[in-house]
């Protein structure tokens, strides 16, 4: 059975500001389970503290009523022992109620941090499990990922705190409502009616807040993008030279203004709603007090009843306010937790066969059969019916103009995407039936847009094969092959030099020589060394591996790569045709179609596209006078 993939399945989870009671209950349970798994002790302590915080105020009010009633009845002398016991109980409960917020704060911190660790690990494990690239290229997914990253990491902790806050409020509320029922049953009705609009308004506000977070996600991501751009070292040259600083700052401020406007509107709504609710609460409290005083004057309530009544009205309103606020915060956190769940629970973006096959060593060939590919529905076809065989042990070169689809073909070989039509086969087995992790272990690639990591020089090569990260001899040999050993050895701390001007560890910060940047060509050699370290792989793919190198270095690196390719299966992409002429097969891609293939000699003899490109490049190295002799052989490219 194949685990079906759906690159858009993450969208199925609700992205609106509504969440049903059943879903909310499920999410809350999941958040609690996560909290329990992350920090069982702290979570238990949180539960107990919430219980204490819930019943504490009610106990205080009742103890106060009992003391006041005894004192008002002039029975202090007769019941002194009992009164002192009540006073001691009041002190003890008061101490617990006073200490509870501090204990809760501490426990919240401990459990929140543990939970964040767990949730963060799960989030990035999920992101790493997406085998393809399409999801990461989807702007809506990135919005969701950002919400999952920011709110999602704290979201579960907020869900738990909110849930416990609500539970605590419910305890207090029912405790005081029970008390009110004992002294003035009609007042229960008044308080309950007054609570209804509060609950309704707060839930509405919470929905609006969550919808706003979703709506603003895109603008906030752009804001972060401009902010990063303005401080990015890579962009700094162009930004300064082209005078782009104000341009990007203005764009950043435009996004920020938009976000501010929306948030101000939301705050205004919140302020108006909550101020109205506060007025309503004050009116209910004042009316209730006047009523209780009237009853006490008639002798239908004791002084203790009035104190209990006052405490109960205040307690109910505080509990209700807290409950609704915590409930709203929980509701907001649950809606944001939804984004986290959508990312973490997203099904595979590429189909995963249940019985995925280990590709095993390449023995015959990699074959593309009538491969059609485009990056999204409605976008132009990038590959149009490509049929290509890369025989095991041979070097195939892929050439063609910019945008012909060469790098796209490489991405399909790595299975970053699946063909829309047709298939790619490894010794006859469709790549879709292979274990993608095992497949990638059999590939070594120098990507056109390779990475330069803010790590040490040795690590920058070692990441090519994590098992050899500590294999200094292997790393040095790879660097020699790629022609960057001398440059790396000459760095201030040799291979241990941090290739970064951004992150310096404590020791490095004190040593101004530690953060070093390489030249473009040197970085490229490091990328080649990374691929060389990954030797013994079945397929070596080199996508413009020497584009940034000087002529001498290019020659040397190609000589070494040629030696490395010897007897291996390799795919070489290069615009410099002199570097591909010794390939066993040269394939010319044009507009997503293979228009020619053959050996250098046969393609030159055919006088087609390849020969035209070759002559064009060769002419670039000749004196102007020589050009006339070539004019007849010019082919439009
Ligand atoms: N992630 C992507 N999403 C959408 N379109 C893309 C993506 N990557 C590449 N393309 C488009 O696919 C086409 C082929 O790009 P590709 O990088 O495969 O060309 P190439 O032959 O390697 O070009 P070059 O010689 O410039 O490296 C281009 O038109 C490009 O705009």
In sequence order, what are the beta bridge partners of 426?
366, 429
Domain end, chosen from 344, 365, 384, is at 344
pLDDT beyond 60 at 628:
no
The predicted-structure confidence for 581-623, as pLDDT tens digits, reads as follows 889 999 999 999 999 999 999 999 998 889 998 888 877 666 5
* d(CA 133, ligand 1 centre) in Å: 14
Q: Could you tell me which residue, 622 or 299, shows the higher pLDDT?
A: 299
Q: Which residue puts its alpha carbon closest to atom 13 of ligand 1?
A: 403
DSSP state of 357: B
Q: In this structure, are 241 and 288 located in the same domain?
A: yes
Predicted pLDDT of residue 625:
54
Domain contains 2: no
Q: Which residue puts its alpha carbon closest to atom 17 of ligand 1?
A: 407
Q: Which of 368, 375, 397 to mutate to test the pocket of ligand 1 (most atoms within 8 A of CB)?
A: 375
Portion of the chain with pLDDT greater than 90, in percent: 30
Q: CB under 6 Å to ligand 1: residues?
A: 137, 375, 382, 400, 402-408, 448
Q: In this structure, are 592 and 519 located in the same domain?
A: no
Residue with tokens 């782009």: 244
Domain end, chosen from 536, 554, 574, is at 536
Strand order of the β-sheet with 443-446 is 443-446, 539-543, 569-573, 395-399, 585-590, 593-598
Report d(CA 513, CA 493) in Å as an integer.
8
Q: In this structure, are 98 and 170 located in the same domain?
A: yes
Confidence band for 76, pLDDT divided at 50, 70 and 90? low
Closest-lying ligand 1 atom to the alpha carbon of residue 411: 18
Strand order of the β-sheet with 383-391 is 383-391, 365-373, 421-426, 429-430
Domain contains 352: no
The predicted-structure confidence for 542-585, as pLDDT tens digits, reads as follows 998 777 677 777 777 777 777 777 778 999 998 888 888 889 99
ipTM value for the complex:
0.97
C-alpha torsion sign, points 319, 322, 327, 330: negative
Domain end, chosen from 488, 514, 536, is at 536
Portion of the chain with pLDDT greater than 70, in percent: 90
* d(CA 548, ligand 1 centre) in Å: 19
Q: In this structure, are 334 and 393 located in the same domain?
A: no
For 168, phi and psi rounded to 5 degrees? -60, -45
Q: In this structure, are 531 and 549 located in the same domain?
A: no
Do the bridges between strand 539-543 and strand 569-573 make them parallel or antiparallel, or are there none, so unpaired?
Answer: parallel
Residue with tokens 């738990």: 160
Q: Which of 133, 139, 403, 449 to mutate to test the pocket of ligand 1 (most atoms within 8 A of CB)?
A: 403
List the domain range (segments joined by +) for residue 501.
Answer: 451-536
For 447, phi and psi rounded to 5 degrees? -75, 155
C-alpha torsion sign, points 442, 444, 450, 453: positive
Domain contains 574: yes
Q: Is residue 284 within 8 Å of 51, Cβ to Cβ?
A: no
Q: In this structure, are 294 and 421 located in the same domain?
A: no
Domain contains 209: yes
For 421, phi and psi rounded to 5 degrees? -135, 155
* d(CA 402, ligand 1 centre) in Å: 8
Report d(CA 449, CA 543) in Å as an integer.
9
Report d(CA 576, CA 578) in Å as an integer.
6
Q: Which of 135, 382, 417, 545 to mutate to test the pocket of ligand 1 (most atoms within 8 A of CB)?
A: 382
Q: Which residue puts its alpha carbon closest to atom 9 of ligand 1?
A: 408
Q: Is 452 helix (H, G, I), strand (E, B) or coil?
A: coil
Report d(CA 100, CA 52) in Å as an integer.
8
Residue with tokens 């105020």: 57
Q: What is the CATH number of the domain that holds 634?
A: 3.40.50.300
């Amino acid at each position: 059975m194949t685990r079906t993939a759906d690159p858009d399945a993450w969208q199925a989870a609700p992205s609106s500001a509504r969440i049903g009671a059943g879903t909310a209950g499920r999410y809350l349970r999941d958040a609690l389970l996560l909290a329990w798994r992350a920090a069982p002790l702290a979570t238990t302590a949180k539960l107990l503290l919430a219980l204490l915080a819930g019943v504490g105020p009610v106990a205080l009010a009742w103890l106060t009523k009992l003391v006041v009633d005894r004192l008002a009845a002039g029975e202090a002398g007769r019941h002194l022992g009992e009164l002192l016991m009540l006073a001691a109980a009041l002190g003890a409960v008061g101490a617990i109620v006073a200490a509870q917020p501090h204990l809760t704060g501490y426990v919240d911190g401990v459990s929140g941090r543990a939970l964040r660790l767990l949730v963060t690990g799960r989030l990035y494990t999920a992101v790493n499990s997406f085998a393809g690239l399409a999801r990461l290229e989807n702007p809506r997914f990135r919005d969701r990922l950002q919400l999952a990253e920011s709110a999602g990491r704290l979201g579960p902790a907020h869900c738990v705190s909110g849930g416990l806050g609500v539970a605590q409020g419910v305890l207090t509320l029912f405790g005081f409502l029970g008390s009110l029922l004992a002294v003035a049953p009609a007042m229960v009705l008044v308080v309950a009616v007054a609570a209804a609009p509060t609950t309704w308004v707060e839930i509405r506000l919470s929905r609006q807040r969550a919808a706003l977070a979703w709506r603003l996600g895109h603008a906030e991501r752009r804001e972060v993008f401009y902010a990063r751009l303005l401080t990015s070292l890579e962009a700094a040259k162009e930004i300064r030279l082209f005078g782009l600083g104000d341009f990007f700052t203005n764009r950043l401020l435009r996004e920020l203004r938009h976000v501010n406007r929306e948030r101000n509107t939301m705050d205004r709504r919140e302020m108006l709603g909550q101020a109205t609710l506060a007025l309503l609460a004050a009116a209910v409290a004042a009316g209730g007090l006047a009523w209780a005083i009237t009853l006490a004057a008639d002798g239908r309530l004791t002084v203790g009843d009035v104190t209990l009544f006052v405490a109960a009205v205040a307690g109910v309103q505080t509990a209700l306010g807290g409950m609704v606020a915590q409930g709203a915060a929980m509701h907001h956190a649950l809606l944001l937790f939804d984004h986290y769940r959508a990312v973490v629970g997203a099904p595979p973006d590429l189909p995963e066969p249940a019985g995925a096959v280990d590709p095993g060593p390449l023995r015959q060939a990699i074959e593309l059969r009538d491969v059609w590919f485009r990056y999204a529905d409605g976008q132009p076809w990038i590959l149009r019916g490509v049929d290509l065989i890369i025989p095991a042990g041979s070097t195939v070169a892929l050439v063609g103009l910019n945008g012909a689809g060469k790098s796209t073909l490489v991405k399909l070989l790595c299975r970053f995407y699946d063909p829309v039509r047709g298939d790619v086969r490894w010794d006859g087995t469709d790549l879709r039936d292979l274990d993608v992790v095992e497949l990638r272990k059999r590939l070594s690639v120098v990507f056109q847009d390779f990475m330069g990591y803010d790590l040490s020089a040795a690590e920058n090569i070692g990441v090519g094969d994590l098992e050899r990260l500590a294999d200094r001899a292997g790393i040095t040999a790879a660097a020699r092959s790629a022609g960057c050993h001398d440059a790396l050895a000459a760095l201030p701390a040799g291979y241990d030099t941090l290739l970064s001007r951004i992150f310096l560890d404590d020791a490095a910060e004190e040593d101004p020589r530690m953060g070093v940047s390489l030249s473009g060509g040197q970085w490229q050699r490091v990328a080649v060394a990374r691929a060389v370290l990954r030797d013994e792989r079945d397929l070596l793919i080199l996508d413009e591996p020497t584009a940034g190198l000087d002529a001498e270095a290019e020659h040397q690196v190609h000589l070494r790569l040629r030696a490395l390719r010897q007897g291996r299966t390799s795919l070489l992409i290069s615009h410099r045709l002199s570097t591909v002429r010794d390939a066993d097969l040269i394939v010319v891609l044009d507009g997503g179609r293979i228009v020619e293939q053959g050996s250098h000699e046969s393609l030159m003899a055919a006088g087609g596209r390849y020969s035209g490109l070759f002559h064009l490049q060769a002419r670039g190295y000749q004196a102007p006078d020589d050009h006339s002799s070539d004019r007849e052989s010019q082919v439009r490219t």
